[in-house]
A and B are shown apart, each in its own frame.
Chain A
Amino acid sequence: MGFLERLLGRQEPSSGKVAKDRLRLVLTQDRAGISPALLDTLKDEIIAVISRHIDVDVSAVEVTLTGTNRDSSLVADIPLRDRRRRR
């Protein structure tokens, strides 16, 4: 990685940082016993239930596991469509 790239902050994240992020993710999944496939299923079903009542921005929905230490939680970020923009 060149000096200039480093100076301009254009470098890729260091492999140590990548390792930490990946470790965090697998640990959260392992501890909760939730696979990425199950997360996808959850996301689809959450969208299905919510959109029956509310207009949600389907493409922007995110369902993720977050966790620090030994407590993890399931976080669903469900942006709503702006009603004013609808005709």
Chain B
Amino acid sequence: MTGNGTEARVVTVTSGKGGVGKTTLTANLGAALAMRGQRVVVVDADVGLRNLDVMLGLENRIVYDLVDVIEERCRLRQALVRHKHLSKLWLLPAAQTRDKTAVQVEDMVDVCGRLREEYDVILVDSPAGIEWGFRYALAPATEVLVVTNPEVPAARDADRVIGLIEAEEKGPARLIINRIKPKMVERGEMLSIADVVELLAIELIGVVPEDQEILVAANRGEPLALSRDGSLAGSSFHNIARRMLGEEVPFQPLRDRGVFERILRFVSPERS
């Protein structure tokens, strides 16, 4: 139990396929939740291939890591790195020079259990794949977010992972569709949000449009969610955070526009 009397949550973010934007999403979601007053720790479970530190701009501040905690070379608190601008956002980095066999399922359950005493939300960034790293990242979860792209290979792998999550009785997972390109959807050249949700048959909790600003922000080590620039992509992270906290937030119109706007876009295509 946490200070505010609600049960702390362990939210594992996973995808099956690599490269769908899982780590970027975890960093932004962590920032958005912390900006809403939640005490958040993001756990990089990708031992050997750590990146969440870079996404958060904290790569120069790491002293100890997850494996140091597990192998008792330091206390848990010593390994946690506080975000530069968000006082409620912390990172538990992965070890970079070890591999995933250094972590056991019980270790992750134990570490996350201890974090639950101090934080409201523990976001676990799962490694890609369905092997060992995925197994230990899933084990401590009280809820699971599956990230996919509107592409056949990513959606297929997401479906596989959804099945495994259900088999481990960690479901039902909720879905985030990342990197949707509204203009391509409008032209019928991409799977739509409705297509993916229909076929994967799980609850949708977020849609993030493709936006170069996400990369620009990541380049600087400052997640876009921090900037509050009002962009569609930036606010989509905040909308997911709000939905996670139980708010009813309507999905932003990425595709269906009114007739009037369609005509405007037809008349002056540079608006699109």
Contacts and interface: CB of A to CB of B under 8 A. Distances in A.
A80 B254 CA distance: 49
A31 B195 CA distance: 18
Interface residues of B, number: 20
Given A24-B199, A27-B199, A31-B163, A19 B190 contact: yes
A33 to B, nearest CB: 11
B185 interface: yes
A68 B199 CA distance: 7
B188 A17 contact: yes
B152 A16 contact: no
Nearest to A14: B188
B130 to A, nearest CB: 12
B156 A20 contact: no
B201 A23 contact: no
Contacts of B190: 15-16, 19
Contacts of B195: 16, 19-20, 23
B198 to A, nearest CB: 8
B152 A70 contact: no
A50 interface: no
Interface of B is mostly: helix
Nearest to B162: A70
B199 A16 contact: no
A30 B156 contact: yes
A55 B169 CA distance: 48
Interface in A34-59: none
Given A14-B189, A19-B151, A69 B163 contact: no
Contacts of A27: 155-156, 159, 199-200
A81 interface: no
Nearest to A15: B189
Interface in B42-96: none
B185 A70 contact: no
A15 B156 contact: no
A25 B167 CA distance: 22
A18 B190 CA distance: 9
A16 B155 CA distance: 13
Contact of A31 (B151, B159, B185, B188): B159
Report, nearest first, the 6 A-B pairs whose CB atoms are least far apart: A14-B188, A69-B201, A16-B188, A20-B195, A23-B152, A15-B189
Interface of A: 14-17, 19-20, 22-24, 26-27, 30-31, 68-70
24 contacts: A14-B188, A15-B190, A16-B184, A16-B187, A16-B190, A16-B191, A17-B188, A19-B151, A19-B152, A19-B191, A19-B195, A20-B199, A22-B152, A23-B152, A23-B155, A23-B156, A23-B191, A27-B155, A27-B159, A27-B200, A30-B160, A68-B201, A69-B201, A70-B201
